[in-house]
Amino acid sequence: MSAPMATNETLPARAALDQEWRKVVNHGLLLALVLVFVSLANMPVSLDSRMIIEPMLSMGYLSLLWIPVVMGFIVSSEKVLEGIAYHAKGAREVLAGGLVGVIGGLGLSLLVILIDNFNLRDPLVNWSPALLDLLQFGNGIGFGVIIWPVLGFGLGVFGGALHIFTAMTRTIVGWVVGAVLGVAVFETVIIDLLTERLPFEFITDWFYFIRGGLSQQGAVTAALIGGGLGYLRVLAQRGVVPTPVQDYKQLVGPERTRANTIIIITCGVATAILPLLLGRITNELLANVGLFVLLALGLNVVVGLAGILDLGYVAFFAVGGYATAILTSPNRGDSWPDWVPQSHWFAALLVVILLAILTGLFIGAPVIRMRGDYLAIVTLGFGEIIRLLFLSDWLGGYTGGAQGVTNIPGVDLGFVEIKGTDPRAIFYLVAVFCALAIYVSWRLEKSRLGRAWMAIREDESVAEAMGINTVNVKLMAFVVGAVLASFSGAIFAAKVGSIFPTSFIILVSIVILVVVIVGGMGNILGVIAGAAVLIGVLGGPKQPGLLAEFSEFKLLIYGALLIFMMLKRPEGLVPNVRRTRELHQEEFLQDAWLRSQVDADEQDGAASGEVAPA
């Protein structure tokens, strides 16, 4: 029997010392490296001010402590494909996790000794006494050297032990951790929501410490709630308790349509009511998220649906912003002739749409026939050229050069003026345009044009052979993306009141790309979720998010996230079904092949009356 064994039964657990030592040492060294890097990146020190649980755990320590757990888990997780023998987990996994943790901890001990004895502050800016003090828990060098291997062992053992927990325990542990972290991270929003308009101070007083962070009783309560929800989840998975999601999935035909309508209306009403309950800061955050949702939905059409990697997407955002600014501000460049009117925002919007279409065609046409990767670089070049032109003295008379355009008025609706000082109004404006963008993307995805885009994404030559005019269809993708981005630019101009070339650097394009990819290319819901998670929690290129302390590290995290997603889950958090199949075609084929082999083996076995040895 040559093919891999088909096993529903598992092999017996191995003995604790039956380790693959090399793997353990490699993972341990990697862990040590990561821990030392995180320390030298100054994460522990600069995040130490943000408390998770007062007074026990700060985000600074958390930034170190979660890593051994994860590494302890990964060292003994193996990819189990269909038909591959599966070892039962046991003491071996726990010990492996612990050993990895010890090696990693030794790395930090070494760092403590080195910082204590040498001064490498010249190249490494964070080689500081503050870091040393934090790594010793303020208790002197000996304690610092001993504590890390011990802590590493404990955390690694916990990570390894996750393998031997039952699925139920694992789910509950996950929910508990998630609930505590979630309640801590969303502190600002929760306090804002419960106390700004609603009289629920007693809840926030129970959960949160005065100077920020969860209080101890709050943490315990959050953990209990999380555990309870996790238990419900387990019951739901076993079918004991019905869940709304399962009910929804079973609906078909008109009933499903009705359910959809109800969901959409509920979301709409929630979006309308929520800002009223929230205060300034949270509304500002929501408005920023909204701007990026709009941008990401546009890029989703270009990258997610049509499969064109446009790295100069910020150009359209810039065109929208600058056109609005120039047409509405009294303080624009001096070189404009008198017949260019100073108009209302909505009148300017019409011009913006027109300009966006023209820019989309102008940038799209030359690149449309290029190879995908050349296209990426050339669009990036266009993005830079447009920014440099806005910045230059040559066009300075029109665009204000480095001084930008200031005094941009808000959107005057007659009864109220929407401007940056009122983030709630801005959010409503953004929400309207987001709704429009969502509707357009959703209709386009199902349309003839949308299907043409997906065909091109999957195979351009075949699409062309099927009679699709690839050039026109790709240009349409550019144009739709450009118009959506220019909307965002127009609102951005009205929101911030003055715009400068530095708001439109390439970084913005890349952040939007990360949002689309992490959320899920080609999936509207995914893109919205991606924008909410990344921009809302970590923050945009210039905008702070919920974790304002992370501003130094958010771009680092974006980069790491982009690589991680591409390697492990290219379809994104909320995947698009068709896209997933494209990306994992080989795995699907391999699974199918294995399954067919297994079937053949079983028939073989049945025919000759043998029983497959385990």
Partner 1 sequence: MTAAVRSKAAPRTGVDWFLTFMRVGLSFFFISGVIMFVLQQIDPQNPIAGVLNPDATGLTADQFEGLIISGLSQGAMYGLIALGYSMVYGVLGFINFAHGEVFMVGAMTGMITSNKLEEAGLWEDAFFVSLVFIILVAIVCSTATAVIMERVAYRPLRGSPRLIPLITSIGVSFLIQNISIVLLGPGAKAYPSLPEWLSQKRTVLFLEVEGTKLMVILVAAISMAGLWYLVERTKTGRAMRAVAEDKEIASLMGIDVNRTIVTTFAVGGAMAGVAGILWGILFRSVIHTTGFLPGIKAFSAAVVGGIGNLGGAMAGGLTLGSAESLAPLMVLEPWGINGVSQLRDAVAFLVLIFVLLVRPTGLFGERLSAEDRA
Binding site for partner 1 (CB under 8 A): 37, 40-43, 122-126, 307, 309, 311, 365-366, 368-370, 372-374, 376-378, 380-382, 384-385, 388-389, 391-394, 396, 471-472, 475, 506, 510, 513-514, 517, 552-553, 555-556, 558-563, 566-567, 570, 582-583, 586
CB of 443 to partner 1, least distance (A): 26
- In Å, how far are 462, 492, 523 from 413, measured between CA atoms? 50, 17, 33
Residues 570 and 583 sit within 8 Å (Cβ to Cβ)? yes
The helix/strand count (H/E) of the chain reads as 26, 4
Q: Between 129 and 140, whose beta carbon lies closer to partner 1?
A: 129
- In Å, how far are 290, 297, 307, 572 from 529, measured between CA atoms? 11, 11, 20, 10
Q: Between 28 and 501, whose beta carbon lies closer to partner 1?
A: 501
What the block records as the tokens of 516 is: 């689309």
Q: Between 75 and 376, whose beta carbon lies closer to partner 1?
A: 376
Question: Which segments within 504-580 are labelled E, that is strand?
Answer: none
CB of 447 to partner 1, least distance (A): 22
Pairing of strands 57-58, 417-418: unpaired
CB of 457 to partner 1, least distance (A): 9
Q: Between 84 and 560, whose beta carbon lies closer to partner 1?
A: 560
CB of 67 to partner 1, least distance (A): 16
Question: Which segments within 218-294 are labelled E, that is strand?
Answer: none
Pairing of strands 57-58, 411-412: unpaired
Q: Between 306 and 437, whose beta carbon lies closer to partner 1?
A: 306
Residue corresponding to tokens 């109220």:
416
CB of 475 to partner 1, least distance (A): 7
Q: Between 126 and 195, whose beta carbon lies closer to partner 1?
A: 126
Q: How far is CA 5 from the centre of its chain?
A: 39
Residues 507 and 311 sit within 8 Å (Cβ to Cβ)? no
What the block records as the tokens of 596 is: 């067919």
Instruction: For residue 406, list its beta bridge partners.
Output: 331
Residues 321 and 490 sit within 8 Å (Cβ to Cβ)? yes
CB of 381 to partner 1, least distance (A): 3
Cα–Cα dist 363/361, whole Å: 6
Q: Between 385 and 413, whose beta carbon lies closer to partner 1?
A: 385
CB of 203 to partner 1, least distance (A): 37
Residues 39 and 113 sit within 8 Å (Cβ to Cβ)? no
Q: Between 205 and 460, whose beta carbon lies closer to partner 1?
A: 460
Cα–Cα dist 57/55, whole Å: 6
CB of 535 to partner 1, least distance (A): 16
